[in-house]
Structure 1
Amino acid sequence: MKFDKVAVGGTFDRFHKGHEKLITKAFSIGNNVLIGVTSDEFGGEKGLIDPCSMRMSGLEQFLKKFKSQYTVAKLEEPYGPTIYDHSIDAIVVSRETKPTADKINEIRVEKGMKPLEIFIIDWVLADDGKPISSTRIRKGEIDRDGKVLK
């Protein structure tokens, strides 16, 4: 079943295979995909990350391959439009961000809104069997495809 509008959000720093899987899933279940990218201020809470403009640019390169409609927007806080936009039907998250999706649904229900269908994506593992992450890429442990560097 295709949903009309699906949300996905993240920092998308050091864009990697895990990010690709998350976004590809959103496009596979949605006619219209809303992609939230954490702003420099909000994303900066995670530490040393690339500027938002650079992260959005990397994301846009990947998005060129999709035919569906999509919108890329800056996120200034954890929930973005999911807590007020009635047209969003579903959300795609990783295991680590599932609690955020649960909180979004809690807020939506309190406001009398329909809860979102939640789709959880499993981690994409690097060659060493550990999850690919922006942090590991930043540290020089692995590359964006999960190849071990040291």
Structure 2
Amino acid sequence: MKVMVGGTFDPLHAGHRKLLSRSFELAGPDGEVVIGLTTDEFAGAKVHPVRPYQERLANVASFIRERGYTAAWRVEPLSDRYGSALDADFDILVVSEETFPVAVEINDLRRKRGKRRVDLHEISCVLAEDGRRISSTRICRGEIDRQGRLIR
């Protein structure tokens, strides 16, 4: 299977790790995962500071290597909400609850372009120990750490 996933991945937290891990699980050991990583310009719209592209790329690559996935993978710059997903030949798009509406939009735009619909796989958000969603914004505010533990 060829799987696509995208994000800013900064800071790389438990929710991001779940998203990436599920992408590799769906691809299978002989599949391929294409990771769209937001460019510095596109990530600049975030409400919290974001590390430079090359640093985020190194963190994602390190996580993948640590997990020992055997599927082929590559990272491509994501300069808008769609990236290459509108025209690429792939099977599954993995998204979070937050980005599921964008995935539906991608399938609609693919159909209008004469491309086949791809399967959408939605990952539920990972909750912090306070029962609220782990997010980069909460981490940057100092509320929680990357695993969702409260910072006291």
Instruction: Using structure 2 for the length normalisation, give the TM-score.
Output: 0.93
- C-alpha distance in structure 2 between counterparts of 1:43 and 1:99, whole Å: 19
Amino acid at match of 1:42: F
Alignment deviations for residues 31-70 of structure 1 (CA, whole Å, 9 cap, x no partner): 1000011000011111321111111111111010211110
> Could you report, residue by residue, the CA deviation over 1:84-126 in whole angstroms, capped at 9, with x for unpaired residues?
11x2111000000001101100110001111110000001011
Query: Percent identity over the alignment?
Result: 41
Q: Distance in 2 between matches of 1:77 and 1:125?
A: 27
Match of 1:128, as an amino acid? D
The one of 143, 147, 150 aligned to 1:148: 150
Residue 39 (str. 1) matches residue 39 (str. 2): yes
Q: Any gaps of 5 or more consecutive residues in structure 2? A: none
Q: TM-score, normalised by structure 1?
A: 0.94
Partners of 1:124 and 1:26 in 2: how far apart?
Answer: 16
Runs of 4+ in 1 over 4 A off after TM superposition: none
Q: Which runs of 5+ in 1 are unaligned?
A: none
Equivalent position amino acid for 1:105 in 2? N
Which range moves more in the overlay, 51-60 or 15-24? 51-60
Amino acid at match of 2:78: L
How many positions carry a matched residue from both structures?
146
Tell me what 1:16 maps to.
Answer: 13
Counterpart secondary structure, 2:122: strand
Amino acid at match of 2:127: L
